[in-house]
Amino acid sequence: MKNGLTIFAGIFAIVAASWAGLLLTAHRQYGGLAQYVDALDGNAYPLPLSGLADQGRLVYEDLGCATCHTQQVRRADFGADLDRKWGERQSYARDYIREKTVHLGDSRLGPDLRNVAARGYVDGTFLYKLLYAPHSVAPGTNMPAYPFLFDVRRVNPGQASPLALPFTGRFAPPAGSEVVPTRRAVALAAYLLSLKDTYDYPVERAKNTPPAPEKKGEH
């Protein structure tokens, strides 16, 4: 093996060049992104998560919600996300810079959740019902139930919890009991209700708008 050293040096150079290409280029593009301070309202966007929502982020990770849900709205010429009303605009890299773990996801058995809090029908009660008994709000859905995020407990007359789920009919708990979200469910709902990228960065708008297509016949 008299060429051993040359082969090793060659392989090393190839691996090093791909590593540098992949990591350093990405770092140059995204690593320097900072929050954007809006001169009008003085806020630095993206806004941080509240403490409770940050706990909910861990529940989201823990339960593997990202196996079926993405958190990335593709731009108009990349897919139908905007037509499906999954967002008012595409997702920008800057949207994610404050996230400790980014849940882009890659499989869409369920809808994209990046802007779930901006959908009019989504509130705490809807989310609790969906998590406890998905078929109560989305009949025939594939979304699994997460009953362990709730306590079903006896209730004394006149002492119902304000968080008790308003179920009637076949989803209602046995008479004399109520379904109440646990702390994990409350945190998860707070996280989901924080998912809303409605702030439109002026800097991103200019950078991410694809150039207008050239008109035929004009030179």
Query: What is the C-alpha to C-alpha distance for residues 33 and 41, in angstroms, rounded to an integer?
Result: 20
Give the pair of three-digit tokens for residue 11. Answer: 């392989």
Establish if 18 lies at the interface with ligand HEC (CB under 6 A): no
Establish if 195 lies at the interface with ligand HEC (CB under 6 A): no
Give the pair of three-digit tokens for residue 116. Answer: 């779930």
Query: What is the C-alpha to C-alpha distance for residues 56 and 37, in angstroms, rounded to an integer?
Result: 26
Interacting span for ligand HEC (CB under 6 A) from 9-17, 59-67, 154-162, 177-185: 59-67
Establish if 143 lies at the interface with ligand HEC (CB under 6 A): yes
Q: How far is the CB of 125 from ligand HEC (least distance, A)?
A: 12
- CA-based end-to-end distance of the chain: 61
Among 7, 9, 16, 109, binds ligand HEC (CB under 6 A): 109
Among 33, 52, 58, 138, binds ligand HEC (CB under 6 A): 138
Query: What is the C-alpha to C-alpha distance for residues 178 and 11, in angstroms, rounded to an integer?
Result: 65
Establish if 190 lies at the interface with ligand HEC (CB under 6 A): no
Write the Ramachandran bin of 100: left for phi over 0, alpha for psi from -120 to 50, otherwise beta. alpha
Residues contributing to the site for ligand HEC (CB under 6 A):
60, 63, 65, 67-69, 109-111, 113, 116, 119, 127, 130, 138, 141-144, 146, 188, 192
